Amino acid sequence: MEPVGGPRAKKGILERLDNGEVVVGDGSFLLTLEKRGFVKAGLWTPEAVVEHPSAVRQLHTEFLRAGADVLQTFTFSATEDNMESKWEDVNAAACDLAREVADGGNALVAGGLCQTSLYKYHKDKTRIKALFRRQLEVFARKNVDFLIAEYFEHVEEAVWAVDVLREAGKPVAVTMCIGPEGDMHDVTPGECAVKLAQAGADIIGVNCRFGPQTSLQTMKLMKEGLGDSGLQAHLMVQCLGFHTPDCGKGGFVDLPEYPFGLEPRVATRWDIQKYAREAYNLGVRYIGGCCGFEPYHIRAIAEELAPERGFLPPASDKHGSWGSGLNMHTKPWIRARARREYWENLLPASGRPFCPSLSKPDA
């Protein structure tokens, strides 16, 4: 199978999902741009779209080339309460950058917003909805293709976000940053999915906070909840690019390595191929990543699901399937690694003999 040569006919997100197509999401922005020197840890706000647009454009381009069908606007935490007077310019610039890159391929642009800092302390529904609505006004003016409410710890606030986003008349996706234990008010994943479907979300799932296997466990519970209630929605998963089997209910933010010592936990490309296949077998058709999910991870999704999609991404032109490019190596023991069985069964070492394999969460 050869990499696709040029743009294909652009279809909407629901048209693709209704047809049973695989939609590959994009990946990490905050942690990746922090490592590259364009985002400040702690604040985690996206001024880079205005201050360093070339850096954001480059990352969008890498995800597109790796096979992403959706480019999310880099608007995480870009609400007025977090960014004051800068919020509107940041949201507008983020939309323009995503559209500029998406139009060079077959990608859709998703306008994204996330949970607010107000909910935990005030739960002021009117004020929180007003913050969402102001972001939505920019997304509508910039004519994004669909909308994503992501990274919600509480289903109540996620429902409020869905209520607002539906006002634009565009498809709405919503993802929660929860694990199998449910949201921070102990609402189970299945109950969360039901509430979100009842609110009118078209696409439901999880993102961030947890690694591939834990996220898929949560998706299974969400799917079961929807099925038991006789409700339907498309399913979406965008997990971490890290292994986090030892984190608690709060996810990777409670691990002592967060955010500057997570590198030993990075998933291999082969781990992500397994994640993509298991997500597909579970019935999830929108599959991407979040923090720690680099462009090569997105390429791994696109390559694993190439038989279902019917094509490889452009970045596969420089990547031999399952290490096949190693056949050209001069050393025979490295040539012997040019096979799927080797990489599927490898148990990679961390190279850190005095470090534990698991940590104890701080919370």
Q: Determine the residue type at 31.
A: L
Determine whether the annotation assigns residue 355 to a binding site.
no
Whose structure tokens read 């999310």?
A: 72
DSSP assigned state of 117: S
Query: Of all residues in the chain, what percent are helix, strand and coil, respectively (each to 5)?
Result: 45, 10, 40
For 95-207, where are the E strands, in sequence order?
108-114, 146-152, 172-176, 203-207
Beta bridge partners of 132: none
Determine whether the annotation assigns residue 177 to a binding site.
no
Alpha carbon distance 266, 96 (integer Å)? 31
Determine whether the annotation assigns residue 291 to a binding site.
yes
Q: Determine the residue type at 16.
A: R
Closest CA to 69 of 92, 96, 94, 101: 101
* b/e code 44-54 from CB counts within 10 Å (16+ = b): bbbbbbeebbe
Alpha carbon distance 119, 71 (integer Å)? 27
Pairing of strands 234-239, 286-289: parallel
Whose structure tokens read 């069908």?
A: 69
Pairing of strands 70-72, 108-114: parallel
Alpha carbon distance 140, 146 (integer Å)? 9
Count of C-beta atoms within a 10 Å radius of residue 145: 21
The answer to whether 129 and 81 have CB atoms below 8 angstroms apart is no
Beta bridge partners of 72: 110
**Residues contacting 335, CB < 8 A, separation 6+:** 326, 327, 328, 329
Binding site residue list: 208, 290-291
Binding site residue list for Zn(2+): 208, 290-291
